[in-house]
Amino acid sequence: MAIDMKWFDEMEGRIPRGGVRTRFAPSPTGYMHVGNLRTALYTYLIARHAGGRFILRIEDTDQGRLVEDAVDVIYATMRRCGLTWDEGPDVGGPVGSYIQTERRDFYKKYAELLVEKGLAYYCFCDKAESAEDSGNFERAEDPCRALSKEEAEANVAAGRSYVIRQRIPEGTTTFHDAVYGDITVDNAELDDQILLKSDGLPTYNFANVVDDHLMGITHVVRGAEYLSSAPKYNLLYEAFGWEIPTYVHCSSVMINDPETGAVRKMSKRHGDPSYEDLVAQGYLSHAVVNYVALLGWAPHGDIAEQEFFTMDELIAAFDIAGISKSPSAFDMEKLNYFNANYLRGLSPEEFAREAEPWIRRTVKNEAYDAAAIAALLQARCERLSDIPEKVDFFDALPEYGADLYTNKKSKTNSEVSLEMLKQTAPVLSGLDDWSQDSIHGALVGLAEKLGVKNATLMWPLRIAAAGKAVTPGGAVEICRILGKDETLRRMELGMEKLNG
């Protein structure tokens, strides 16, 4: 079989040289899992910290697992997380295409080159193909390994279905990882993995090596579960005579199983939240990104104790030496802590924009100012999803018992509360200016006139207005938002309840 080496030389000539180049290469098979997001983030930070290039590549060779619109989800997720790419399917670049199925002819040529070198072989056995590495280092004997070149080419010419397998040599393979150091594996434990499937598409492992080389990738970031595949990657790079990139394997993200309590690897298959799930649960993208950055990486030096980082600060601080070998624990309470801090840090206008869709889930009445309601909430929620239940009383006064009017701290009971509402109703009814200052001044003045503490007057008013013992904001803020007529109507209902 004649090999056109000029084509390979031309491909080599296209490769960008000099400077750090990293890539994130997701499969469009669903939403962005937390582990995938961390891989994308670390890959991005390595490139940006070094002033290099960050590339997005879509690995869609596993056609059976593709999910419609998943590529758009990938784009949207990365943009929301602030992970902008320099080259990719939608922006182009010097080494496109950046979609693997559009590069399928490349892989066949490189697989055939390895066959010509005697470092791969045609396999005609009728056995199930596996696009992914099993990771268990078991090696299966294959009779096709012993076929002569002439026999193999005759089978191909006769139209027999085949795959191309990597021919693992004798001996050992040592590879270096920036996190785990040098690892040596006995080649007898490696199987002759499939490089090219019978449909002409490459397996994940083969496509990764070819594309990473042709795109000039200098650092490859992936999960520690791929450590078992690294020897085969090394052998492929060596077979082609290519420079091996820096491997950066990241330890697993663990979680306590909510049902069993057992510690296990975080997985969407077990119902653990993806990035999209977390956003749907009311977490801000910046909070998620900040928290995920610290799942397996820690800053050093003067900022060793720092927890909160802007993206620019992460870029400046991030170094591979800070990545831990130990598994990290995903803790929802810790994420709540981060999210609450980010919510507090928003400007009132920013928080109102984030909160409004959540407010409108239960406050449908447009007469109630969402921005005014948001102002009550900013210091009182850890997640945006806390909001609907906190403010549902605006649209409809809930059913509540008269026992809510009794509060030891405010020195109220049913009799005291009824008297306070009777005294308060005409004062509020007489207000022409229904502003917060006006309402507050009238109520404080009334409390002083009656010789009671402010809380003794405010507690029954808030219960009548909201029908809840715990509310965002106090009586004054709630009454102002409800408006004069609705406040007085609810007070009348409260007095009827207390009159029993």
Please tell me what DSSP assigns to residue 397. P
Q: Is 117 known to be catalytic? A: no
Max CA pair span of the chain: 108
C-beta separation of 98 from 56 below 8 A: yes
Strand 53-56 versus strand 163-166 pairing type:
unpaired
Angle between helices 285-293 and 34-49 (to 10 degrees): 80
Strand 163-166 versus strand 120-123 pairing type:
antiparallel
Annotated catalytic residue within 268, 334, 453, 484 = 268
Residue type, 165: R
**DSSP for 298-313, written as a single string:** ---GGGTT-----HHH
Omega before 435 within 30 of 0, i.e. cis? no
- 3-state helix, strand and coil shares in percent for the chain, rounded to the nearest 5: 50, 10, 40
Q: Phi and psi for 254 in degrees, rounded to 5?
A: -105, 160
Q: Which two tokens stand for residue 24?
A: 């994130």
Please tell me what DSSP assigns to residue 159. T
Closest CA to 378 of 477, 479, 276, 277: 477
CA dihedral 5, 6, 7, 9 (to 10 degrees): 90
Closest CA to 46 of 20, 25, 83, 19: 20
SS3 state of residue 489: helix
Q: Which two tokens stand for residue 54?
A: 């960050």
Please tell me what DSSP assigns to residue 77. H
Paired strand residues for 430: none
C-beta separation of 263 from 256 below 8 A: yes
Give Cα separations from 113 to 3, 61, 166, 218, 425 (angstroms): 7, 20, 12, 23, 90
Q: Phi and psi for 21 in degrees, rounded to 5?
A: -135, 120
Strand 246-250 versus strand 219-223 pairing type:
parallel
Active site residues: 268
